[in-house]
Amino acid sequence: MINPIDNLMHQYLTAIALLCYATTCIQLLCYRRGKANYRINLSCIAWLLIALNGSCALEILLGNVHISLGQTVLAFTLCVLVHHAKGNVANVLREIYDYTH
């Protein structure tokens, strides 16, 4: 028998992960580079992030995945980084690089 508290926690983790994946995907899709230089490698990374976050959100909506605490924390971390950089992938990578060095 499934513990009701475990089931509730799983529902919360799933909802948080879904929101993180969806908002990250939307933030990346809505980014406008303005006068920033176009770089194909960063555009490919952005496209990949959009596709992966969108597919993760879709899998959750379809009920095909079991979300763990680690996946939720990773989705939340990426969400915070992307929103802090306002969707600019170059700034996300720069933040990670500056933090590690």
DSSP string, 44-61: HHHHHHHHHHHHHHHHHH
Assess contact for 72 and 62: CB atoms under 8 A. Answer: no
Task: Give 67's DSSP letter.
Answer: -
13-21 mean pLDDT: 96
pTM, to two decimals: 0.87
Extract the tokens encoding 41.
Answer: 């490698």
Q: Is pLDDT above 70 for 68? A: yes
Dist. CA 66–CA 34, nearest whole Å: 39
pLDDT at 19 over 70: yes
Rounded Cα–Cα distance for residues 36 and 97 (Å): 19
The pLDDT of residue 44 is above 90:
yes
CB 57 within 8 Å of CB 18: yes
E strands of the chain, at which residues? Answer: none
For position 81, what pLDDT does the model report? 93
